[in-house]
Every structure is written in structure tokens, then in C-alpha cells.
Amino acid sequence: MKHVIVVGSGIAGLIAALETSRAHSVTLITKAKLADSNTRWAQGGIAAVMFADDSVEEHIEDTLRAGAGLCNADAVEVLCTEGPARIRDLIRLGVQFDAQNGELARGLEAAHSHPRVLHAGGDATGLSIETALVRAVRGAANIRILEHTFACDLELQNERVTGLEILAPDGQRQTLAADAVILASGGAGQLYLHTTNPSVATGDGVAMALRAGAQLADVEFYQFHPTALALPGTFLISEAVRGEGAVLLDADGGRFMQALHPDADLAPRDVVARGIALRMSLQQGQPVSLDATAMSAEFLRTRFPSIDAACAARGLDWATRPIPVTPAAHYWMGGVRTDLWGRTSLAGMYAVGEVACTGVHGANRLASNSLLESLVFAWRCADLLLGIEPAAEQRAAVFTPSNWPETTLEVESGDAPAATIVDRLALRKLMWEAAGIERDATGLAAASDQLARWKAGGSTVEELETANLLLLARVLVTAAAARLESRGAHYRTDFPEPSDEFRQLRVCLLACLLNTAQKVGAGC
Ligand code: SIN
């Protein structure tokens, strides 16, 4: 029996912990409560081929098309092929998907050729999955749960990860030894001023992995969801609402997406997000609106209960009037580079879910593929650690990166001596303006200069998170400046077209230590 540490308690962490605990002892670490994660906020659902009129081949095609030429095709095949069996496993674990006429109900989202998005509790899919998995994890014999415990840094010996340094709830730093560490700590929406992600999404796992010397990939690709409520306390308005027929309107009440893409309001996310951003700039920053008034109040209440409640809480009646929406940072396609079994470039360390980059999403994730990715790849990683026979070609004991052209960049992970302490809000504004939906060389260079003039300070959880965000901002800006083309979610106004030179080129990031201690908050 091995001892495995899992960091993070969204769908990826819970599945990794649950499955691995069948043969190993597991410590599951989460910096908030067990049920606090990005997963619980996922609305639209989870895409999988569960119907006779659909096919895995078409799901693969849709995923590749959305990924704008950059997907790792092997990862896409794994995702779409293994997805249906994993959905059946979720049902076995207690997730109750919505049903209609005796079969699974399914919705349509952007860039899917068929309705194949399963949902639960209407628009509470993430919450339903999280609740069932938390129950299963709490009932598992071999899992020790450490809540309110912050993972600071990985412990390394002879280039192998041997454990984790944590900040315990009592404020003490401790070292936990492990035979394997699985990072499942999610994305970093808090890099941006506007985000659909909860406050816990500060990219701690990606930052920690980079400091330990792991390779990152595709970090320039951050997906912006087109429709978040444009009111304080940003709230996601699921793409499934447009899938059911809602349309976007400009300030004059006119539809504008039809002129921009044949799929209009259901065009790929990057296209809709940019279309909205352009329209907002033409109407002096005023948000556009989403018109769902063609649907009845009863339908909206039962199909989208969470959104309905969020609107009502803000005094909006979306059955009778369009609601204001704006794009917001939603999902990071890049992350810790892994193979198809969650192995990273560091022995003893694995990564699954949004923290990882298998390349499955390429330059732009297809709607509702993220819960599926977490489920499928966390399961595979657990299978690997359980020694369940992987296919012959996967038997290699070490990380085997995808065999694609790549360029390697270095990013400074330490702080310059004269730097001043970074303010998190200022960092988020800078990223929104310079490395958001649209980027260009001038803005990215100015952002890079500003980021170099900031340093992190302090040793509270919030300060350690900010240190992670600062490192990741540098990483993202460095990679975005290097990709001299537009592709998927990475849109350069100075290079508005995709370029053959960058087609399938993977930008990999390595840390270069500047001058300070490697560990976050060390010496504070
Ligand atoms: C949504 O419900 O629009 C979000 C689903 C996703 O991000 O895949």
C-alpha cells in the first residue's frame, strides 16, 4: 500500500482520491471546505455520447474543431471514448442526472453537433456531482481529509516529489511525506478582474508545480465565458440558456451575433466572447443583454433554478426582460503538462483536471468537456496508481510527452530586489486589460514590465495565493507574448490570423529562479 496525497476537492480530486483509496491510503487536502471548488459552480453539464443518434466520432470532431488545431488528438480520443463508461460510474456513485421521457435529459451547447450535455438539478450539475462525490469520499475507509489546509510547495529529493509542505489550519507549516502527489487543485480565474470562478481558484497547483521544476504547457490559452451576469458578484449564465433559444442583444435591442458567425449566438465561445467585447466597446462599455423572454417563467424556473434564483436575488425578472451580461474568465486550457495518465515531467507528481494540460482542449475548450476531462483523466491516473493494466503502449513507467513541435520559454519565478508588494486587485485589472480577451505586443510588454516591478509578500493564505497569482500572471503574459498569431481563445489584435508557423506548436514554460528563495513565502 502506498501513501498518496491528493490536493484539491473538485470532481478531479474527489475521483482521484476515491479510486486511488481502493488500494492505497490517501490524504485529501483542500484549502477550504471539502465541498468548496470550481466544480460546484458548473452549470451547463457534462458532455458525453449516451444516445443512439450521436457518435463518439462526432464528439471527437466537435472537440477538435473547437480546439482550433491545437488539440492533442490522442487525448481527445481518450476523452470521448472513455467518457460514456465514466458517466455510468458517476451514476453508480450516486449522481442523479435529469431524465426526460424515461431517458437521460440532454441539452445543446455551443459548437456541439448534437445535444449531448447531461445535466442534474437543472443547472446545478456541478453541485449535484460534488455532493454525491463528497458523500462517497466521506464514507471511504482509506481517505483522511484535511480541510482548511493550504498546500504551499512540493518536497523534492533527487528530482522526485516526496511530499508536500502545508500550512495547517493552526497556521503552522508542516511537511507531509508521500509516495505520490496528485495535483487536482483547479484553475486560476482569480487572475482576472471578471471571472465566473469562485475565490478559491488561484492556480496554486500550477504555481507550485512550476516552482518545483515541472513543465507547463499552453498557458497562453485562457477561455472567457461569453455570458456572466454584468452585476456585482458576477454569476455565470450557462451557455445552455442560449442552447434553449435565448439570444444576445445590443443596446438598441438588435441581434448582433448573426453577422459574426453562421452559428450566431451558439458560435464557439471565443467568437461569442469577442463579439460581445466588440459590441460593448461600440456602446461605451455598456453590457449587452441576454434575452430569454421567449421561454416561460415556469420553464426558466425548472430548467435553470440556480440562475433563476440568482436573477431574482438581484431584482431581475428574466422571463419578462433581457438581463445584462458580459464575458468573464472561465477556464484555463493550459497547466501542468501531463501525459494521458496524469504523469508530469516530475517523478512522483501527477496532475488531473483543470490544473493539468493533456492538450485535450487545444486552444479553446468545447462547452461541457471540462467536467468530463476531470472525470476521465482522474480515473486513469488512479488506475495507473492501482496498477490496473493500461494499454500496452502506455506501460512506460515515465512521463511521455506528446510528440509535437514545441518551444520552451523561461519565466522568472523570483522577485526583483527593488520590487514593491503587489496588490491583488491591481494585478487582476492589469491581466484583464493586457492579457484578456484581446492582447497585443505593446500591452503585453507593458504588463510584463509592471509584473516585474511587483513582488509577493507575507505568509497568510491570502498572501500565498497572491504570490501564486503573480507567478502565473508572469507565465501567462510570457507565453502570450511569444505566440505571434491568433488561435482559439488567444486573440492578438496585432496578429489577427492563425499562422502555420504556430500551428500545433506547444509553448512550454519552465521556471528560472531569479534571486529569492524558491518556496512560496519562505523566509517570511
Ligand atoms: C456553462 O454552463 O455554460 C458552462 C459549461 C462549461 O464551461 O463547459
For residue 224, pLDDT beyond 80: yes
The amino acid at residue 316 is L
pLDDT of residue 222: 98
pLDDT band at 517 (very low <50, low <70, confident <90, very high): very low
pLDDT of residue 408: 78
Cα(239) to ligand 1 centroid in Å equals: 6
DSSP conformation letters of 138-187: HT-TTEEEE-S-EEEEEEEETTEEEEEEEE-TTS-EEEEE-SEEEE----
Mean pLDDT of 425-440: 98
CA distances, 385 to each of 13, 133, 160, 212 (Å) = 14, 20, 16, 21
- Which three cell numbers mark 90? 458517476
DSSP conformation letters of 511-523: EE--SS-SSTTTT
Does an H or E element contain 329, and which?
strand 323-332
- Please give the residue that has the higher pLDDT: either 185 or 410: 185
Cα(127) to ligand 1 centroid in Å equals: 13
Q: Which of 368, 372, 375 to mutate to test the pocket of ligand 1 (most atoms within 8 A of CB)?
A: 368
For residue 515, pLDDT beyond 60: no
Domains and their CATH numbers in the chain: 3-187+331-389 (3.50.50.60), 228-327 (3.90.700.10)
pLDDT of residue 444: 98
Sheet holding 173-177, edge to edge: 150-157, 160-167, 173-177
Mean pLDDT of 403-421: 76
Residue 288, classed as helix, strand or coil, is strand
Q: Which of 195, 229, 330, 332 to mutate to test the pocket of ligand 1 (most atoms within 8 A of CB)?
A: 330
| Lowest mean pLDDT across 26-35, 105-114, 368-377, 499-508 | 499-508
Q: How many CB atoms lie within 10 A of CB 53?
A: 9
User: What's the CA gap between 380 and 201, in Å, rounded?
Assistant: 24
Q: Facing residues of 46 across strands?
A: 118
CA distances, 346 to each of 65, 142, 152 (Å) = 31, 26, 17
Q: Which of 62, 123, 125, 236 to mutate to test the pocket of ligand 1 (most atoms within 8 A of CB)?
A: 236
Instruction: Report which ligand 1 atom has the smallest distance to the Cα of 237.
Output: 3
Q: Is the CB of 246 under 6 A from ligand 1?
A: no
C-alpha angle 449-450-456 in degrees, rounded to nearest 5 = 120
| Lowest mean pLDDT across 194-203, 371-380, 392-401, 405-414 | 392-401
For residue 377, pLDDT beyond 90: yes
Percent of the chain with pLDDT over 90: 86
User: What's the CA gap between 426 and 320, in Å, rounded?
Assistant: 37
Q: Which residue lies with its CA nearest to atom 8 of ligand 1?
A: 368
Mean pLDDT of 505-518: 57
Spell out the residues 6+ positions from residue 281 whose beta carbon is closer than 8 angstroms to its own: none
Q: Facing residues of 222 across strands?
A: 332
pLDDT band at 419 (very low <50, low <70, confident <90, very high): confident
pLDDT of residue 503: 76
Spell out the residues 6+ positions from residue 102 whose beta carbon is closer than 8 angstroms to its own: none
129, 37 Cβ separation under 8 angstroms: no
pLDDT of residue 516: 39
User: What's the CA gap between 11 and 127, in Å, rounded?
Assistant: 10
356, 338 Cβ separation under 8 angstroms: yes
492 is catalytic: no
Cα(460) to ligand 1 centroid in Å equals: 32
Mean pLDDT of 227-242: 93
Instruction: Report which ligand 1 atom has the smallest distance to the Cα of 223.
Output: 7
pLDDT band at 415 (very low <50, low <70, confident <90, very high): confident
Mean pLDDT of 451-460: 92
Q: Is the CB of 44 under 6 A from ligand 1?
A: yes
pLDDT in tens, 35-58: 999 999 999 899 999 999 999 999
Task: Tell me the pLDDT of the chain averaged across its residues.
Answer: 92
Catalytic residue among 269, 474, 487, 492: 269
User: What's the CA gap between 328 and 349, in Å, rounded?
Assistant: 31
Q: Is the CB of 368 under 6 A from ligand 1?
A: yes
Q: Is the CB of 43 under 6 A from ligand 1?
A: yes
pLDDT in tens, 332-349: 999 999 999 999 999 999
pLDDT of residue 402: 65
Mean pLDDT of 212-233: 94
For residue 17, pLDDT beyond 80: yes
pLDDT of residue 401: 64
Percent of the chain with pLDDT over 70: 93
pLDDT of residue 518: 46
pLDDT of residue 504: 66
pLDDT band at 507 (very low <50, low <70, confident <90, very high): confident
Cα(333) to ligand 1 centroid in Å equals: 14
Q: Which of 46, 223, 225, 270 to mutate to test the pocket of ligand 1 (most atoms within 8 A of CB)?
A: 225
Cα(231) to ligand 1 centroid in Å equals: 19
Cα(328) to ligand 1 centroid in Å equals: 12
pLDDT in tens, 63-78: 999 999 999 999 999 9
Instruction: Report which ligand 1 atom has the smallest distance to the Cα of 370.
Output: 8
Cα(303) to ligand 1 centroid in Å equals: 15
Q: pTM of the entire structure?
A: 0.94
Instruction: Report which ligand 1 atom has the smallest distance to the Cα of 366.
Output: 8
The amino acid at residue 385 is L
Instruction: Report which ligand 1 atom has the smallest distance to the Cα of 369.
Output: 8
pLDDT band at 398 (very low <50, low <70, confident <90, very high): low
Cα(43) to ligand 1 centroid in Å equals: 6
Q: Is the CB of 370 under 6 A from ligand 1?
A: yes
Torsion of CA 366, 371, 373, 375, to 10 degrees: -160
pLDDT band at 512 (very low <50, low <70, confident <90, very high): low
For residue 105, pLDDT beyond 80: yes
User: What's the CA gap between 163 and 436, in Å, rounded?
Assistant: 35
Q: Which residue lies with its CA nearest to atom 2 of ligand 1?
A: 44
- Which three cell numbers mark 53? 443518434
